[in-house]
Structures are given as structure tokens and as C-alpha cells.
Amino acid sequence: MSAFVRYTLARLGFFAVAFVVVGLVSSIWLEVSDVTVLWVALISLAISAVASFFLLGRMREEVAVSLKARADKMHDRFEAARSAEDVD
């Protein structure tokens, strides 16, 4: 499994956990409606983003390194193709 997929699944997991926790806490005091679910989703999104920033730093670095390697590889292939065209 690639680093990007693992990082994305971890982010989705954080959001799901935050959504359940905030939803349970809000159901204690608030009546469930469409607006309440929207607020729960927005608050969960903010909480999961902050948690991901602090807890998934190493995974984020792995994704950055793998994307950089892929971009360098594509750049090298592009340069090789461009130089092959210039041989004429």
C-alpha cells in the first residue's frame, strides 16, 4: 500500500472518530437536525485537521518524499524524450 493511500486512510479515520465523538456529545444537548449534522461535520473536520497535523507528521513526510521521487522520475523521462527529439 502506498504512503499516500495510508495517509489518506489515516486522515479519514481521524475524521470518522471525531465525527462520532462530536456527534455523541452534541446529541446530549442538541436536537438532531440537518443543521446540527452540518455543524458536527464542520467541527469534526477542524478537529481532525488539527489532530492530523500534529499526529501524522511522519506519514506526511513519507508522502512528500514519495511524491518528490515520482516527480523527479517524470521530469527525467520528459527531459530524455525532449533530448531525443532534439537529435534531428
pLDDT value at residue 32: 80
Residue 86 has pLDDT above 90, yes or no: no
Q: Residue 85 pLDDT more than 80? A: no
Burial bucket for residue 69 (CB in 10 Å: 0-12, 13-18, 19+): exposed
Q: Give the range of the structural domain holding residue 74, as residue numbers without chain letter.
A: 3-85
| % residues pLDDT > 70 (the chain) | 97
Indicate the number of domains in the chain: 1
What is the residue-averaged pLDDT of the chain?
A: 91
Q: Give the angle 55-44-20 at the CA atoms, nearest 5°.
A: 100
Sign of the alpha-carbon torsion through 58, 45, 31, 33 = negative
With cell 471525531, the residue in question is 18
Indicate whether 87 pLDDT > 90. no
pTM > 0.85: no
